[in-house]
Amino acid sequence: MRGSKRWLGLLALGCMLMPDGLWLSAARADASYYDGKRIRFVVGSPIGGGFDTYGRFFARHLSRFIPGNPPVVVQNMPGGAGVTFANYLVAQAPTDGTVLGLAPGTISTAALFGVSGPRYDARKLAWIGSLNAEVGVSVSWHSSPVRTAQDLFANELIVGGVQATDATVVYPTVLNRILGTRFKVVAGYHGTSEVALAMERGEVGGVGSWNYSSLLATRPDWLRDRKVNVLLQIAFAPHPDLAGIRTVFELARSDNERALLKLVFSQLAMGRPVLGPPGLAAEPREILRNAFDAMMKDAAVLGDARKTNLELYEPMTGDAVSKLIEEMHAQDPALVRAAAEMMRSN
């Protein structure tokens, strides 16, 4: 106890003797880090879709939560369902906290499942947090004869997809191979916004996997006016809005099927992650993580999200995202190989 009192006394004396300029500099270390800097926020998806909407929402609010309030500029870098952006982070992005961005959670397992293209180790990326846990939904256009999950086993449903690494292609392929659904994927569209237009034109009958939050944010009238049938939830637990719609885990017929589905869909818990490059310096990493955590609790941010139909459903801290990725990469290699085989598009 005496030692503690002596230490506190010396600390107080040291603070009193510290030159004013040095004390002020130490107190304002965080505030000065971003002085004169600009943040480039990169969205790893095309303009107009759900990820672009979320990315611009996040970038709009970010500056207010960073000491020094640096300006934030948005850039889109689509390709490979976020893989192009992740590769850029590794190869070219500065590590001073001036470049970060948003990408689909699937970038965390792309290399693990043997997808061609990733040149990064997801465990080494600087994870800042995730805006929400995703619930994927399979939907059909209102005129389609496929109206329920059970119909997917009896009738073929032509669905639009983006690229081979995108959830719009990967997830219905997985469901076909594990559960026996009858999705026919037509890939090559530039984002879900183009797939939505294809549905309206009658080119395709639905979407095999569409983030419910994206549907809610970009096509709320489709839900309100029942222009689409919500067939199936790709999720561990039902979404509060979708009571009565079956989940993929309810359709699983064995423990092996459930294990495969769990591994493939685990990344949905980190549905919209914000991340920076590997080697991100400690100071900006801490500033950005603190800013993210504060933003997810801010009343004005939450109010703006509600007003614009953006769902911030079960966000995750950067530390929680990192732990989830470590867990996915630590799974039994035999299970990983089996899941990878289920995900192959040909």
Question: What are the sequence ranges of the domains in the chain?
Answer: 36-346
pLDDT above 70 covers what percent of the chain? 90
DSSP-assigned beta bridge partners for residue 273: 130
Say how far apart CA 154 and CA 2 lie, in whole Å.
Answer: 79
φ/ψ of residue 272, rounded to 5 = -135, 75
pTM comes to 0.80
Residues near 47 by beta carbon (within 8 Å), at least 6 away in sequence: 76
Report the CATH fold assignment for 36-346: D-Maltodextrin-Binding Protein; domain 2 (3.40.190)
The string of pLDDT tens digits covering residues 137-172 is 999 999 999 999 999 999 999 999 998 878 899 999
| pLDDT, mean of residues 320-341 | 95
Give, in order, the Cα–Cα distances in Å from 50 to each of 53, 212, 213, 238, 313: 5, 10, 8, 21, 14
Q: Is the pLDDT of residue 3 over 60?
A: no
What pLDDT, on a 0 to 100 scale, did the predictor assign at position 135? 93
Q: Phi/psi at 192 (nearest 5 deg)?
A: -70, -25
